[in-house]
A and B are shown apart, each in its own frame.
Chain A
Amino acid sequence: MSKIVELKNVSFSYNDKKVLNNINLTIDDGEFVGLIGPNGSGKSTLVKIMIGDLTPSSGEVLINGINVKDVKNRSMIGYVPQKSYSFNASFPASVKEVVSMGLYGKLGLFKKLSKGDWEIVNNALKIVDMIDYKDRLIGNLSGGQQQRVFIARALVSDPKILFLDEPTTGIDAKSEDTLYKILDTLNKENKITIIMVTHDVWAISDKVSRIVCMGNGRLYDRCDTLDFSKKELAEIYGYPVKLDMHHHQSENINNRL
C-alpha cells in the first residue's frame, strides 16, 4: 500500500494559541479513517492543514509524497467542510448549480461549463442519490440532503482523497445511515481514500477501517480499537465520558452545538 497522506511533526497555532502539537500521521491509499475528538480539540484545523488551506507553523504535509502546497492537481483533494460555517442557507442556488461549483477550480478562468461537465454533475448527483432534487433550491433541502449535495460537489472534480468534516452533524439517524452507505461505496468501489471527522466515538466504529483520536492538539494512536478504558477516554477528552453503547439511536449525541 502506498502512503497517500503523511504528516511529519506538524504543529500549528492560531496567533499564539497552539492548536496542533507535533502531529505524526500516515494514511494509506484506500483507507477509510475516522478522526474523532471533542469540540475544540483541533480536528477541523488538522483537516485544513491536510488539504493545504492552512500552513503548519512547523512540520510537513505530504500528499502522495509531494508537499501539499506543491500539489499541481488540486482537484485530487476533495473537501466537504463542516456544515453551516460559511454557506448561506437562503442562497438562491439550485442543487445542480451548487454541485457544478466543484468543477470551477479545475476548469480555470475564462472557461464555461460544457455539456460533458453537466453530465459529470448529474453522475455525482446519482452517486449520492440526489438526482431527483437537481432543480431544487439548496436551502429547501434537509440537512442530510444538503450534506449529500456537498459530497457531490466534492466528487465532481474526481478526487483521490475525500476529507469530510463532521458530515453527520444535525442530520437524523436514517440520513446518517444513507450517508455512510454512500461513503462506503465511494471507498470500496470508487477507491477513494476517505478521512472523516466526527464527534461521535461510537457511531463510526463499525463504519471505518481505522479510528484516530484527537485530544488537546495531539493524536492518540491507541484509539484504533474500541477497547480503551473510561480513564483513557477521560484523558483524551479532558472530562469524564459515559461509556454506554446506545450508539445507534444516538440522536442526542448529534445534538451538540
Chain B
Amino acid sequence: MLNIFTYDFMIRAFLAGGFISVIAPLVGSFLVLRRLSQMGDTLSHVALAGVAAGFLIGINPTIGSIIFVIISSFGIERLRKSYFRYSEISIAVVMSAGMAIAVILLSLSSGSPANIMNYLFGSIISINNTDVLISFILSIAIIAVIYIFYKELLYITFDEEAALISGIPVNMVNIIFTMIVAITVAVSMRIVGALLVSALMVIPAAASLKIAKNFRQTIFYAILFSFISVFVGIILSFYLNLSPGGSIVIVSLIIMGLASIKKAGN
C-alpha cells in the first residue's frame, strides 16, 4: 500500500482538515443549539457565489467566498427580523440568491469547471500552501474569539432574553458570532465541499448531544467526533479514491449512530 504521508498534498490535506475539524463543530454546536442548523447550508451556497466571483476577478476564491458569506449573513439577519414569523423564509431566499449568483458568475467566467467542482464536492489534492495558511490563521482567530466570548455565547444560546436582561451585549455578540459562522463555512468548504459543509458543522454536534453531560462536554465531544471523521474520511478517500466530503460525512454519521445506540443503552 502507498504511504499516505509521502505525498505533500496529503500533508496539506491533513493540516487544513485538522483545523476545520476543530472549528466546524465548535461553531456548529452553537448553531445547532440555537436551532439555526440550516444556516450553514445557506451560507455554503452563497460561498459558492463568492468562489465564482473569485475566479472571475482573479482573487483567491476562499477570500472571495468569505466576503460574500459575511455580507449575506447580515442579509439573513435583516430578513429574519422583517419576516420574524417565518424566519425560514430568509434562509430559503438567501440560499436561492447565492445559488443564482453563483451560476451566473460561473457562466461569465472562463475558469475551468473542474475548479468549481473542487469547491462543490471538496478536494484534497488541490489544496495549496495558501489554503493551508488561510485556514490556519482563520481557525486560530475563530477559536480565540469563541474562547473570549464563551460565557456570553453560552448564555445567549441557552436563553437569549435572559442574557439580554442580565446586561450581556447580545447584539454585539450575535454580530461577531454571525461573522464566525460565515468564515467557518468559507474555510471548511475547501475540503468537505459546499454541499456537505453544514453536515460537518451539525452532525458531530448532534452526536455529542446524545452523550454530553454538560455544555463543555458537548463541545469537546463534537470536536472529537469531527476530528475522527475528518481524519478517517480523508484516509478513506485517499485509498478508495472517494470524495473526501462524502467520506467524512459518512464516518460522522456512523459515529452519530453509535452515540445514539450508547444513549439508548443507558
Please report A residues at the B interface, Cβ cutoff 8 Å: 51, 53, 74, 79, 81, 85-88, 90-94, 97-98, 100-102, 104-107, 109-110, 112-113, 135, 137, 157
Q: Are B151 and A93 touching (Cβ within 8 A)?
A: no
Complex contacts, B209 vs chain A, CB 8 Å: 90, 92
Judging by beta carbons under 8 Å apart, are A86 and B161 in contact?
yes
Query: Which 7 residue pairs across A and B have the least CB separation, nearest first?
Result: A105-B166, A94-B214, A105-B167, A92-B218, A86-B161, A101-B155, A74-B167
A98 to B161, CA, bound (A): 14
**A135 and B213 contact, CB distance less than 8 A:** yes
**B216 → chain A, closest Cβ, in Å?**
8
Minimum CB–CB distance for A217 against chain B, Å:
22
Cα distance, A102 to B155, chains bound together (Å): 9
Does more than half of chain B's interface fall in helix, strand or loop, or is it mixed? helix
CB of B215 within 8 A of CB of A93, answer: yes
What are 7 residue pairs bridging A and B, where the CB atoms are less than 8 Å apart in the complex?
A: A81-B161, A86-B162, A88-B35, A97-B214, A98-B158, A101-B163, A110-B148
> Min CB distance, B174 to chain A, in Å?
14
User: Given A86-B160, A105-B167, do A92 and B214 touch, yes or no (CB 8 Å)?
Assistant: yes
A90 to chain B: closest CB distance in Å?
A: 8
Residue of B168, B214, B215 with most chain A CB atoms under a 10 A cut-off = B214
Please report the C-alpha to C-alpha distance between residue A107 and residue B152 in the assembled complex, in whole angstroms: 11
Q: Is the CB of B151 within 8 A of A113?
A: yes
Contacts of B216 in A (CB 8 A): 97
A104-B152, A135-B214 known; A93 and B166 CB under 8 Å? no
The complex places the Cα of A101 from the Cα of B168 at a distance, in Å, of: 10
Tell whether, in the assembled complex, residue B213 and residue A101 are in contact, meaning their CB atoms are under 8 Å apart.
no
B138 located at the interface, meaning its Cβ lies under 8 Å from any Cβ of chain A in the complex: no
Cα distance A243–B135 when bound, in Å? 70
Which residues of A lie under 8 Å from residue B155 when comparing CB positions? 101, 104
* Cβ-defined partner of B151 (8 Å) among A91, A92, A107: A107
The reply to whether B162 and A137 form a contact with Cβ atoms under 8 Å apart is no
- Residue on A nearest B34 in the bound complex, by CB: A88
Q: Is the CB of B33 within 8 A of A97?
A: no
The residues of A that contact B218 with a CB separation of less than 8 Å are 92
The answer to the question of B165 belonging to the interface, with a C-beta cut-off of 8 Å to chain A, is yes
- Which residues of B have CB within 8 Å of A94? 213-215
A sample of 6 more A-B contacts (CB under 8 A), given A93-B214, A105-B166, A137-B214, is A53-B165, A79-B165, A92-B217, A98-B158, A107-B151, A112-B151
Q: B158 and A87: CB pair below 8 A? A: yes
Closest A-chain residue to B205, C-beta based? Answer: A92
**Across-interface contacts of B160 in A (CB, < 8 A):** 86
Which residues of the other chain, B, contact A107 by a CB distance below 8 angstroms? 151
In the bound assembly, the distance between CA atoms of A157 and B148 in angstroms comes to 21
The 8 A CB mask of B186-220 against A (1 = contact, 0 = none) is: 00000000000000000000001100111111100
- B147-180 contacts to A, CB under 8 A, are 148-149, 151-152, 154-155, 157-169
Chain A residues whose CB sits within 8 angstroms of the CB of B158 once the complex forms: 87-88, 91, 93, 98, 101
Q: Which residues of A are found within 8 Å of B165, using beta-carbon distances?
A: 51, 53, 79, 81
Residues on B with beta carbons closer than 8 Å to the beta carbon of A81: 161-162, 165
Mask, B3-42, CB within 8 Å of A = 1, is 0000000000000000000000000000001010000000
Q: Please, which residue of chain A has its CB at the minimum distance from the CB of B35?
A: A88
Looking at A74, A88, A92, which has the most chain B CB atoms within 10 Å of its CB?
A92
